Amino acid sequence: MTIDDALFKQAWPRVYAAAVRSAGGDFAAGEDATAEAFERATRTWTHGRPDNPVGWLITTARRITIDERRKQATRNRTARRLSPDAEDDNSPASSITGDDVLDLFFTCAHPSLTPEAQVALTLRAVAGMRPAEIARAFHCSPSTMEKRLVRARRKIREAGISLRSPDRAELDDRLGPVMRSILLVFNEGYAPTAGDEAFRQELCDEAILLARSLHDMLPDQAEPAALLATLLLIDARKSARVDESGGLVPLRFQNRQRWNSTNIAEGVELTLGALNSPKRGDYTLQAAIGALHMEAPRHELTDWPQIAFLYEQRLEQFRTPSPTLVIAHSIAVAEAHGTCAARPLLYGLKPAEDVTAFLHHTALARFAEIDNDIEAALRNIAAAAAAAPTTADRTALDKWSTKLEKSRASPNT
Amino acid sequence: MQYALLAYEDIDATEARTDEEQSELLAGYGKVAQALAEQGKLVFGDGLRSSVVATTVRPGTDQAIVTDGPITEGREHLIGVFVIEATDLDEALNWAGQMPHAQTSGGVEIRPVGA
């Protein structure tokens, strides 16, 4: 192949941004030109790549958009002159820096778009995923995903959303949706909300790549560094997280020898850097929690009081914290200070959704286990299994109850 | 580009507003309008009377039918219209954010002008 995966990943967002820009901010036209430029490359690079393949692709995509705009103008017979943008667009391809991709990131996650559209556009424009692949990742039909993308591109064009990064003053607010999009991609890979797979590595890898490029472009910002750290630390557990039969292994039963020490080292270093920042954002706190988990040589040696404290700081940032966060905090408190302190934290929860019910019963089962109340633990495991989102979750719960039943049969082991 | 900034609020809020609150609201809009005008970005801007006194014309069989009341009956109604010049949505959002209905209660809808 003349265009391998590495070149595609590196080139796609740069070509896309340049094409959108020379198409006057029109994402649909820019995307068509990008796809066409890659097709032309596959056709013409039969004797090897040009010296500067990314530059070649950018120049080609720009030429396509300019030709397209000329054709449009002639077709319309309105004698409307091409906008100065397009005519001045002879700047050398080498002037395209990483910042063009940063502009693309921020525009795809513009707060005026729905979170679903933000994620879909980011995966399409920055990661180069096809609509059908994105549809599979989010369990919707390709036509639904295509419609969502068409609608988002139309909104960008008609509402006048510029392809640009925010000013310094707006950066904090605007980084939120960008990072949330990346996290959503990772979560869907790490803990799919539906389906039979325990995780989907390709989505995790995609999210890590996106987080890494965001961090590379904004190296002095703590939160993007912390986001990358969080993803690396979670991803480091992947080979210990699933057993031979495909069931999930909870953190405390994982074989820590199998954790990826390179990822952990990089994640911890990034976390320490982020913690130096005067203002600790939520991603920094998450990274710090992740680092504490990963640095414990054994589960019993985990610094639970510190983790519970970090969860408290996370809770303070939200007016209405998510049930997931409330439950995670309660578990940390139970491990650190006992279940008497932890139980009241869950009183306000309304387990309306399945995922909340699943997490809630899993937490109550763990509390009962800590208190040696095996009957209550088994009851809650059964309730959690009934609400479990994936087969892998159910399998893990089954194993847990088997383990508890064995310990009940022979209490001294 | 031109953007229409459409201010909406609860009908109850409109009906219950005292004269004093009304002049406070107008002063809030006056500030934004002045800033827009100073930068040459204000095309039009004013408040509307309550939709309680609105009249609607719809197509009929022989001739248009006139009815009492707004097009859409809802809890919230349109209460102010601004048309401004802005380079992109971000700038329009920034102006909209300074309007009283984006700060206390109600909301401001941003729509590009021109079909």
ipTM of the complex in this document = 0.83
Phi, psi of A409 (to 5 degrees): -65, -40
The predicted-structure confidence for B60-75, as pLDDT tens digits, reads as follows 998 999 999 899 888 9
Report pLDDT for A96: 39
Estimate the crossing angle of helix A282-295 against helix A304-316, to 10 degrees: 170
Read off the pLDDT of each residue in B68-91 and give the average, rounded to a whole number.
94
**Does a structural domain hold residue A232?**
no
Report pLDDT for A353: 67
The domain total for chain A is 2
Pairing of strands B65-68, B76-85: unpaired
Q: Which of A172, A185, A176 is nearest to A126 (CA)?
A: A185
**Does a structural domain hold residue A126?**
no
Alpha-carbon separation of residue A413 from A47, A291, A409 (angstroms): 68, 32, 9
Residues whose CB falls within 8 Å of the CB of residue B13, separated by 6 or more in sequence, listed in order: B105, B106
Report pLDDT for A77: 63
- Do the beta carbons of residue B83 and residue B2 sit within 8 Å? yes
A350: exposed, middle or buried (C-beta count within 10 Å: 0-12, 13-18, 19+)? exposed
Rounded Cα–Cα distance for residues A307 and A304 (Å): 5
Read off the pLDDT of each residue in B17-33 and give the average, rounded to a whole number.
95
Report helix, strand and coil shares of chain B as percent, to nearest 5.
35, 35, 30
**Does a structural domain hold residue A280?**
no
Q: Do B90 and A162 touch (CB under 8 A)?
A: yes
Phi, psi of B2 (to 5 degrees): -105, 140
Read off the pLDDT of each residue in A94-118 and give the average, rounded to a whole number.
80
Rounded Cα–Cα distance for residues A232 and A211 (Å): 10
Q: Which of A344, A388, A348, A346 is nearest to A363 (CA)?
A: A346
CATH number where B32 lies: 3.30.70.1060
**Any idea what DSSP says for residue A183?**
H
Minimum mean pLDDT range among A110-114, A246-250, A291-295? A246-250
Q: What is the pTM of this model?
A: 0.79
Q: Is B111 helix (H, G, I), strand (E, B) or coil?
A: strand
Read off the tokens for B80: 């102010």
Per the structure, the complete domain to which residue A386 belongs is given by 319-413
Report pLDDT for A146: 95
Phi, psi of B108 (to 5 degrees): -125, 120
Report pLDDT for A408: 80
**Does a structural domain hold residue A118?**
no
* Mutation for A interface: B89, B91, B109, most A CBs within 10 A: B89
Residue A88 has pLDDT above 60, yes or no: no
Which residues in chain B touch residue A160, judged by CB atoms under 8 angstroms apart?
1, 3, 86, 88-89, 92, 112
Inform me whether the C-beta atom of residue B110 falls under 8 Å from chain A C-beta atoms.
yes
Rounded Cα–Cα distance for residues B26 and B101 (Å): 11
Which residues in chain A touch residue B88, judged by CB atoms under 8 angstroms apart?
160-162, 164
Residue A220 has pLDDT above 80, yes or no: yes
User: Which stretches within A109-252 are classed as H helix?
Assistant: 115-121, 131-137, 142-159, 168-190, 201-217, 222-235, 238-241
Read off the pLDDT of each residue in B21-42 and give the average, rounded to a whole number.
96
Residue A348 has pLDDT above 60, yes or no: yes
**Does a structural domain hold residue A55?**
yes
Minimum mean pLDDT range among A67-76, A242-251, A325-334? A242-251
Residue A388 has pLDDT above 90, yes or no: no
The domain total for chain B is 1
Rounded Cα–Cα distance for residues A136 and A185 (Å): 12
How many angstroms separate the CA of residue A159 from the nearest CA in chain B? 6
**Any idea what DSSP says for residue A254?**
S
Q: How would residue A97 be classed by pLDDT, with cut points 50, 70 and 90? A: very low
Which of A95, A112, A135 lies at the terminal end of a domain, its last residue?
A: A95
Give percent of chain A with pLDDT exceeding 70.
91
Give chain A's mean pLDDT: 88
Per the structure, the complete domain to which residue B20 belongs is given by 2-112
The predicted-structure confidence for A273-293, as pLDDT tens digits, reads as follows 999 988 889 999 999 999 999
Read off the pLDDT of each residue in A65-73 and give the average, rounded to a whole number.
90
Q: Regarding predicted confidence, which is higher, A248 or A126?
A: A126
Q: Do A162 and B112 touch (CB under 8 A)?
A: no
- Do the beta carbons of residue A330 and residue A345 sit within 8 Å? yes
How many angstroms separate the CA of residue A119 from the nearest CA in chain B? 20
Q: Do A162 and B88 touch (CB under 8 A)?
A: yes
With the C-alpha atoms ordered A32, A33, A37, A43, is the resulting torsion angle positive or negative?
Answer: positive
With the C-alpha atoms ordered A53, A59, A61, A64, is the resulting torsion angle positive or negative?
Answer: negative
* Mutation for A interface: B2, B3, B90, most A CBs within 10 A: B90
Residue A67 has pLDDT above 90, yes or no: yes
- Do the beta carbons of residue A210 and residue A124 sit within 8 Å? no
Residue A356 has pLDDT above 90, yes or no: no
**Does a structural domain hold residue A69?**
yes
